[in-house]
Structure 1
Amino acid sequence: MRVIEDKIKTFTRVEKAFYGSIVISGLILAIGIVFMQTKLLQVQSDMAATNQEISVKLLEIEDAKQAVNDLARKARLLEIAEKEGLTFNNNNIGVAE
């Protein structure tokens, strides 16, 4: 410890300022890196949550498409038409997408 103190005492003001600025720059860089890593993890977490929401919505869309297909199947339409005393005319059916 004594040797380091003696060595520091022999530094000029310019050398002390130079080494001090290096230490301060190192601290600022370390704090900046920690801050950026924290932000990166937050963004990744938000992105994962968004991807999960997208997956849920895609599943809901697929379920809705399946429900539409089930409701529009020909046998069901024929059954409803016969129940109401109507005839089934395939030319009157339109598909909306």
Structure 2
Amino acid sequence: MLQDNRREATMKVIGNKIKTFSRVEKAFYGSIVVTGLVLAIGIVFMQTRLLQVQSDMARINQEISAKQVEIDDAKQAVNELTRSARLLEIAEKEGLSYNNDNIGVAN
């Protein structure tokens, strides 16, 4: 019972204090609340956008890694195709001679 009386007294004091706020004070406090809400929404939006960008960046890094593996495999294939023993074997098979000085490299 005593606690209820204290609560009612507190509510009356707060209610009276709010009623005594001038229009300028109410506008000021209202603008603080609105600014807080706008900032909260902005922060949530920016965090969501940041997560999306990080996800896109991770996907692109995976694609880059996959392409790098393809490039490395292609370079390995080129090296295997242009090794001297293979070229000598092809030359002998076709009845040609193998002259290493006549081999050029295209970039």
TM-score calculated relative to the size of structure 2? 0.86
Flag structure 1 segments of 5+ consecutive residues without an equivalent. Answer: none
1:16 to 12, 20, 26: 26
Q: What secondary structure, in the 3-state scheme, does the structure 2 residue paired with 1:33 have? A: helix
Q: Distance in 1 between matches of 2:29 and 2:60?
A: 46
1:30 Cα deviation from its structure 2 partner: 0.4
Find the partner of 1:43 among 33, 43, 53. Answer: 53
The normalised TM-score by structure 1 is: 0.94
More RCO (CA 8 Å, sep 6+):
1
Aligned-pair Cα RMSD in Å: 1.0
1:11 counterpart SS class: coil
For the residue of structure 2 that corresponds to 1:85, the secondary structure is coil
Report the structure number with the largest CA radius of gyration: 2
Residue aligning to 2:102: 92
Say how many residue pairs are matched.
97
Shift of 1:7: 1.7
